[in-house]
């Protein structure tokens, strides 16, 4: 994954969170969310294509090479890769929450979001539920693409997720208190 591609995963999570909360509040239906998602996808794909083209042009003009730092391999097809990915991500992002404070905050936000998802199921807000599951998947998109666990430093979308979920929870709590 190149440096210019790193914000893409952040963008996908942020857009899905926006669409989720719009659907949660009943402002858009499932099909409207898909239509709006396509509108969000246009700058994503055009910006990605432009970023790659500009990077290649600058690299060719300046005779710069592309170096790989860290683990960038794709593990799909290797024996036990999917199981290893699931176990490692569970270990790194949920079990370590017991002793590692930043991951504990993520675990708490994930739990709060899980409660919100259960509420959407009870209230039969199908669009919000589907978008909520998509948000959860988008948090580990890098991991799913590579079929390998995701390092903390590549999990930029998790910080946005934590902030938005806590903002949403506090907003709903303050609304209940004022009422």
Q: What digits encode the pLDDT tens for the residues 5-38? A: 667 777 788 888 888 888 888 888 888 888 888 8
Mean pLDDT within 31-53: 80
Q: How confident is the model at residue 113 (pLDDT cuts 50, 70, 90)?
A: very high
pLDDT tens readout for residues 68-101: 555 555 566 667 777 777 888 778 777 777 787 8
* Res. 1 pLDDT band, cuts 50 70 90: very low
What is residue 154's predicted lDDT score, i.e. its pLDDT?
64
- Which tokens go with 99? 């002793």
Q: What is the chain's mean pLDDT, rounded?
A: 78
Three-class secondary structure assignment of 45-105: HHHHHHHHHHHHHHHHHHCCCCCCCCCCCCCCCCCCHHHHHHHHHHHHHCHHHHCCHHHHH
pLDDT > 90 in the chain, percent = 2
């Amino acid at each position: 994954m190149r440096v210019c591609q790193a914000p893409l995963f952040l963008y996908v999570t942020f857009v899905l969170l926006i669409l989720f909360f719009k659907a949660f509040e009943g402002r858009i239906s499932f099909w409207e969310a898909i239509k709006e998602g396509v509108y969000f996808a246009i700058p994503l794909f055009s910006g990605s294509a432009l970023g790659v083209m500009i990077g290649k042009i600058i690299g060719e003009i300046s005779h710069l090479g592309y170096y790989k730092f860290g683990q960038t391999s794709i593990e799909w097809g290797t024996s036990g890769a999917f199981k290893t990915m699931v176990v490692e991500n569970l270990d790194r992002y949920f079990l370590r929450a017991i002793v590692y404070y930043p991951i504990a905050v993520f675990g708490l936000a994930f739990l709060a979001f899980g409660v919100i998802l259960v509420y959407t199921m009870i209230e039969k807000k199908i669009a919000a539920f589907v978008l909520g599951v998509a948000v959860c998947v988008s948090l580990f998109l890098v991991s799913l693409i590579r079929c390998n666990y995701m390092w903390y430093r590549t999990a930029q979308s998790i910080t946005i997720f934590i902030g938005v979920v806590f903002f949403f929870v506090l907003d709903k709590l303050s609304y209940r208190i004022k009422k």
